Structure 1
Amino acid sequence: MEDTEALPSVMDGREYQAGHHAATLRRMLWREHLGLLPAQPLDANEDPNAQPPDVCPNNWNEGDEWDKLVTDPLSDDVWNMWTQQATTNTEVFRHLFHADPDDNIRTFEDYQNFLPRNDM
């Protein structure tokens, strides 16, 4: 695939022309992974983004505040948001699932405290 359509973008604080397909795909995926897509109503019958792509293509919210946040993939703001979300996700996963092994378990006492209680 040759992406011939250019999209004005930013990389490491400097303007450049990105490939439209690659840039919009990355922005949508990053927004999805970071929880930056607009919320859908529980009854999404009228929401074009909840319909199959052949019925109604998904809208890309180009230029809204969340799109602007992920425009520059090398910015400090994006990096901080990405690592903060990853840390939160790891802590929630660790708390809910008690996956073993875990990098925070360093001693047998840590291991005993980490395991779910079995009061049988």
Structure 2
Amino acid sequence: VVVFDGRGYFAPSAEDGDRYWVKRVIAVGGDSIACCGDDGALLLNGEGLEELYLPGGMAPSTTEFDLVVPEGRMFVLGDNRPDSTDSRHLLGAPGGGMIPVDRVVGRVERIVWPPPRGGSL
């Protein structure tokens, strides 16, 4: 999970005025990522991705995609998938919704909200 500066790369930031975004890195340069396999899981390099951090019953995505992340970029998703603006929703935007790795400003080390999910990452 990273914090990144989305200005100019993450389309909503230009409209909403938001500068910093917190998202989970799902794939990096050279990785293939697709939604979804026969069991409903995301496929990372052809293998089902086990996402134990998602709340029970939450689908990994309702948006279908199949792509290779360009070198120097990251494909990011929010943990609250139904309400998250993330790489899935920006596939047609400049940069394809994928974040340049040099825009990362920090790594999230702890979850504090909601309390049941609190703890170190």
TM category (shorter chain) comes to under 0.3
| TM-score of the aligned structures, taking structure 1 as reference length | 0.20
Tell me which protein shows more helix as a share of its residues: 1
Please say which structure displays the higher CA radius of gyration. Answer: 1
Higher relative contact order (CA 8 A, sep 6+): 2
Tell me which protein shows more strand as a share of its residues: 2
